[in-house]
Amino acid sequence: MLFLIFFALKILCKYFFIVFIAFGIIACNNGKPELTEPEPYRPGPLDMTAPPAFSPPVKESDIVIGKNINPQLSKQGEVLYNTKCKVCHKINTETLVGPGLKNITKRRSPAWIMNIILYTGMMLQNDPEARKQYEIFKVTMPALPLTNGEARSLFEFFRKNDL
């Protein structure tokens, strides 16, 4: 009888040992999970090494600016502004998604303004002033499909707004 109890205990011990080892392995595996979390996605900063000879497509000499503001042209610009730009820009100095556009014609040249409207991506990538703005706002102004004439009308509207 005593022998039987001893025998049963021995078997139990043996299985306990196995169970113990099995738990040990699971515990170790938990400590070192085989699947590692993927790196969180972070969009990289803009390439800050601008090519030295960047020359934006619209030149100052391409733009004809009248002495007085052309009311028809500025009206056309205002309509465009209200449909395509107003969601992100205020016409005063307040920031919305992008900078307030009051005095834009005083702090930027006509060609610069035309270029940022017509060649937004190119300017944000290569123009030091545009890149500075991007660093502040951290939002990429979308490239809006506009014609030269439309961009010119927007410029006329900004001129009127800056009087």
Catalog residues that contact ligand HEC under the rule CB under 6 A.
Answer: 84-85, 87-89, 97-99, 101, 104, 108, 113, 116-117, 124, 133-134, 137, 139-142, 144, 154
Nearer to ligand HEC, 68 or 83 (CB): 83
**Phi and psi angles of residue 116, each rounded to the nearest 5 degrees, phi first:** -70, -30
- DSSP states of 107-125: HS-HHHHHHHHHSHHHHHH
CB under 8 Å to 119, separation ≥6 — which residues?
A: 56, 57, 58, 143
Q: Closest distance between ligand HEC and the C-beta of residue 62, in Å? A: 17
Are the beta carbons of 139 and 102 closer than 8 angstroms? Answer: no
Q: Which is nearer to ligand HEC, 18 or 50 (CB)?
A: 50
Q: How near is the Cβ of 66 to ligand HEC at its closest, in Å?
A: 20
Q: Which residues contact 30 (CB under 8 A, 6 or more apart)?
A: none
Q: Are 111 and 102 in contact (CB under 8 A)?
A: no
Residue whose beta carbon is closest to ligand HEC: 98
Closer CB to ligand HEC, residue 58 or residue 154?
Answer: 154
Q: How far is the CB of 45 from ligand HEC (least distance, A)?
A: 12
- Shortest Å, Cβ 109 to ligand HEC: 11
